[in-house]
Amino acid sequence: MAYDAAAVRALFPALDAGGAHFDGPGGTQTPRPVIEAIAAALSAPLSNRGDVTRGERNAEAIVAAARRALADLLGADPAGIVFGRSATQLAYDFARTLAKTWAPGDEVVVTRLDHDSNIRPWVQAAAGAGATVRWADFDPATGELPAEAVRAVLSERTRLVAVTAASNLIGTRPAISEIARSVHDAGALLYVDGVHYTAHASVDVERLGADFFACSPYKFLGPHMGVLASRPGLLETLRPDKLLPSTDAVPERFEFGTLPYELLAGATAAVDVLAGLAPHAEGGRRERLIASYAALEEHEDALRVRIEKGLAGLDRVTVLSRAAERTPTLLLTIEGRDTADAYRFLAERGVDAPSGSFYAIEASRRLGLGDTGGLRVGLAPYNDAGDVDRLLQGLADFLG
């Protein structure tokens, strides 16, 4: 379906400031319906959840709507949707909970491609349980993390594998379904960091084979919070530390304290905005989301190709995003120049493309970039050809 970039851009008040935003992988700009949903939630009567007062009922309705919306987005069961402050916080919470079942000699697998939030919680939890950490490596020359790299470090003692569905640094999309089959054949669980993936591709947790799938709405037009999807039956087997009077029901068992109702309302609105990116799509919200993501991928891929062709004409620029399957996220280095200087140069011209390792510290080091990283150019639904041209011209001017 045709993608109307102008209509999408009109939803974002922040674009009125005139900037060209390539910083979406760190958090997207916010569309007006999300802003309005947050304001509406805070403007209406609101209190702790219940069924007596109007404020209690409003809170209940917001939570239920958000679980349905995120379930539609992820192809999951609403009863398996857990809300948290961030994907990092959820990873720590689930690492601590799962580690209660680990013992010395057990093994946990992490990868060097991942954001540190899907590495360090598992490494630290394994250390506390006396379990062994095994590392799956990616090929720095191609950016690929083949399923075989994970399969090679599995054993009968593997208890959990943590892997990204898409690298936030170089965009690589590993073959998660294939990895999942190997992980499950080994009798282990698979925890998938879907934070970067969910911003660019339609998610089907069941098809991917993820036992746990985490994402962050602020990476796909929503507010700052985290979401985890799992099977309700699996969640029933896990016993997190919790307050004595707090509910033991799933998924609330994993949600500590009062939920941020206004942010949940914003997350629901963000899903609805995503479902409307292909305005002529038919069916329920899940079907419209699938159609919208197909249109979005086509739009973003066309812009990515435009960027890549433009970069090919710039001397001294190296693109490190090379995997066959990848998101529209490019990591660049510039021979003889500091990408932090390029970041500042572009920012002065209203083009936001940050420099760094973006918490993917293991990946940055594996690429030979140390802790410094490179210049990251990431696309979002509101980018258009004009943004791309401004970026390319700004880089050309920087290079002189």
Cβ distance 107 to 132 under 8 Å? yes
Residue 2 pLDDT:
80
What lies within 8 Å, CB to CB, of 244 at 6+ separation is none
Residue 83: beta bridge partners?
A: 227
47 three-state secondary structure: coil
- List the strands of the sheet with 355-356, edge to edge: 317-319, 329-334, 374-378, 355-356
pLDDT of 230 over the 90 cut = yes
Structure confidence by residue, pLDDT tens digits, 90-144 = 999 999 999 999 999 999 999 999 999 999 999 999 999 999 999 999 999 999 9
Contact call for residues 111 and 150 (beta carbons, < 8 A) = yes
Cα separation of 300 and 380, whole Å?
Answer: 7
Q: Assign 19 a pLDDT band (cuts: 50, 70, 90).
A: very high
Q: Is 272 within 8 Å of 217 (Cβ atoms)?
A: no
Q: Give the pair of three-digit tokens for residue 337.
A: 């120049």
Strand partners, 376: 331
Band of residue 83 on the pLDDT scale cut at 50, 70, 90: very high
Instruction: Give the global pTM.
Output: 0.98
Residue from 124, 133, 67 nearest 93 by CA? 124
**Dist CA 17 CA 95 (whole Å):** 41
What is d(CA 223, CA 27) in angstroms, rounded to the nearest whole number? 9
> Which residues neighbour 14 within 8 Å (Cβ) at sequence distance 6 or greater?
21, 29, 30
Per-residue pLDDT tens for 206-223? 999 999 999 999 999 999
Average pLDDT of the chain, as a whole number: 98
Give 111's contacts (C-beta < 8 A, 6+ positions apart).
119, 135, 136, 137, 138, 145, 149, 150, 162, 163, 164
Q: Please say if the pLDDT value at position 87 is more than 90.
A: yes
How many CB atoms sit inside 10 A of residue 42's CB? 11
pLDDT digits (tens, 9 = 90+) for 172-203: 999 999 999 999 999 999 999 999 999 999 99
